[in-house]
Chain A
Amino acid sequence: MTTASQRFNPLQRALHWLMAICILAMFFIGVGMVSTITPKFLPLISTHRSLGIIILALALIRLVVRLRYGAPALPADLPEPMKLAAELSHYALYALMIAMPIIGWAMMSAADYPIVVFGGVRLPPILPQSDSLHALLWSAHYYLAFAFFAVVLLHIAAALFHALVRRDGVFEAMAPIAVHQKTIAGE
């Protein structure tokens, strides 16, 4: 079933896996930093800010690439509910990849924190100082982070389901290196 034309192009695959590493790291850095008062707190939070900006930049590039090159069609025999879940979860992933860094940046702005990334680059505030906006954005950043992690776990489960159970070429479409389906099937 798998053919070269049914895969994402190399740029899309590179962006996917690079962002996968960044976003997974982000979850663990985020949840780790807010639960510690040790000296690790400072490098964790400054990495969280810098990585957030990197993810925002990569996500915007990825959105343009996706709009330009599209995605391979899902298998025709995929049940409708799974197709719908696939589509919705991908909209959610794109929305969160772009929204979370912006919410974080806005939250810092509303708190009047200097926003220093990459060890010394000072970003401008994108909102005026406001306690009500800060409280709102803080809640959004916090709850959406858990929602984001849940969608990522679902995404991983679905990818493995395609790879191991359905063996329908969906996983291979985004696999970092070309995997022949027969090799997998023969395991």
Chain B
Amino acid sequence: MTDSHRPPPYGSLALIAIVVGAGAAAFAYTAGWFSPNRLTPNKLVSAFAPPSGPALGHRRNHAKGICFTGSFEANGAGAEISKASIFNKGQYSVIGRFNLGTPNPDAADATVRVRGIGVQLTASDGQVWRSAMIDPPFFPVSNPQAFYALLKASGSKDPNAMKTFIAENPEFARFGEWAKSAPWTGSYAEEPYNSLNSFVMTNKDGAQHVVRWGLVPKATVVPMTQEDFAKLGPNVLEDEIVKRVAAGPQSWTLMVTIANSGDPTADPSKDWPADRRKIDVGTLTVDKIEAEADGPCREINFDPTVLPTGISTSDDPFPAARSAAYMKSYDLRTAEAKYYPRTPAATGDKQ
């Protein structure tokens, strides 16, 4: 027992070093520090930025946008497929954001093909449902890895990068066709907005259905060419929606589409056949438009996995990837808030 007669405890010290070293190494491995190829939220979010760097203080994608408030009038029909309280007949408050699918908050409207909407519906029990939807009828690619490859290819200086990408991700060709041929409109109010991702709805009896949802505009759609739209000016969408909503509220029908068994639920690049059952669950109405800088949507992360009880994620891998990336974007932009003043510089604030 007397320490003085024992040889120096090299073995024990080595064991301690091994245990501590192994703990630290396991931690580093889990963090991905030994896996340079792992697609992390950081990598995905960074891939949106143009070569000049991201627009600090702004969302890393869908950076150009404008806030709105309004309501969702549930007609009660949604209760058949989901026990979410937002589907109980009634009127609920909505905060949202119209936006353009670009990392550049100053992009000219006619240079951006994809338009989107972020909405937060708040039920009377306080449960919120957030959804970020876009206007194409299907997504450009079938999985998050391919989406990252698309961002890398489209930002690449290699003239063959996009060709190589399309060869590896043939589903993209269809999106390219849509982007070229689908008519443009001159208003956020005339766009349909689609979840594209699938989710699972569970009703009060426990029955589950895989669904996608979308907002169908009640406004009359006036199709136009990209050239004609470009003539309307670089910020026409925001100017137009301000005037339009000031003149009268704008509405959409919230339609839930139910998958048949065997439909591709995990791949948003594949739309479901048009004959799938659709349920009109209510009307979204936009009453008021506000600038984003100090508007109510600014600090909302329209994370598509923020769902009320009665709606959950499906086997579609995108909502998880989007949640991880949106969170990263949110963490970055909230730390950069000083670069995006809440009041315009013209008012002489110190920023």
Q: Bound pair: A and B? A: yes
- A residues contacting B by CB (< 8 A) are 27-28, 31-42, 45, 111-114, 120, 122, 129-132, 134-135, 138-139, 149, 153, 156-157, 160-161, 164-167, 185
Residues in A whose Cβ lies below 8 Å from that of B319? 42
Name A150's closest neighbour in chain B (CB-CB).
B24
The 6 A-B residue pairs with the shortest CB-CB distance in the complex, in nearest-first order: A164-B12, A135-B335, A131-B334, A35-B32, A37-B321, A31-B31
Are B334's CB and A135's CB within 8 A?
yes
Are A35's CB and B20's CB within 8 A?
no
Q: Report if B252 contacts A (CB, 8 A).
A: no
User: Which has the most chain B C-beta neighbours within 10 Å: A39, A112, A139, A164?
Assistant: A39
Name A168's closest neighbour in chain B (CB-CB).
B3
What is the interface of chain B mostly: helix, strand, loop, or mixed? Answer: helix
Are B300's CB and A138's CB within 8 A?
no
Name B296's closest neighbour in chain A (CB-CB).
A129
| Distance to closest chain A CB from B3 (angstroms) | 8
Are A165's CB and B9's CB within 8 A?
yes
Q: Given contacts A45-B323, A130-B299, could you give 20 more A-B pairs where the C-beta distance is less than 8 Å?
A: A31-B30, A33-B324, A34-B324, A35-B42, A37-B144, A37-B324, A38-B144, A41-B320, A42-B313, A42-B319, A111-B299, A111-B301, A113-B306, A120-B309, A131-B334, A132-B337, A135-B331, A135-B337, A149-B27, A160-B19
Contact of A112 among B16, B40, B299 (CB under 8 A): B299
C-alpha spacing A38/B144, complex, angstroms: 8
C-alpha spacing A156/B15, complex, angstroms: 12
Name B11's closest neighbour in chain A (CB-CB).
A164
Q: Report if B183 contacts A (CB, 8 A).
A: no
Q: Report if B128 contacts A (CB, 8 A).
A: yes
Are A41's CB and B27's CB within 8 A?
no
| Distance to closest chain B CB from A89 (angstroms) | 14
C-alpha spacing A153/B19, complex, angstroms: 9
Taken residue by residue from 40 to 75, chain B's Cβ proximity to chain A (1 for < 8 Å, 0 otherwise) reads as 111010000000000000000000000000000000
Are A39's CB and B320's CB within 8 A?
yes
Q: Report if B126 contacts A (CB, 8 A).
A: yes
Contact of A160 among B3, B16, B306, B330 (CB under 8 A): B16
| Distance to closest chain A CB from B226 (angstroms) | 32
C-alpha spacing A132/B130, complex, angstroms: 23
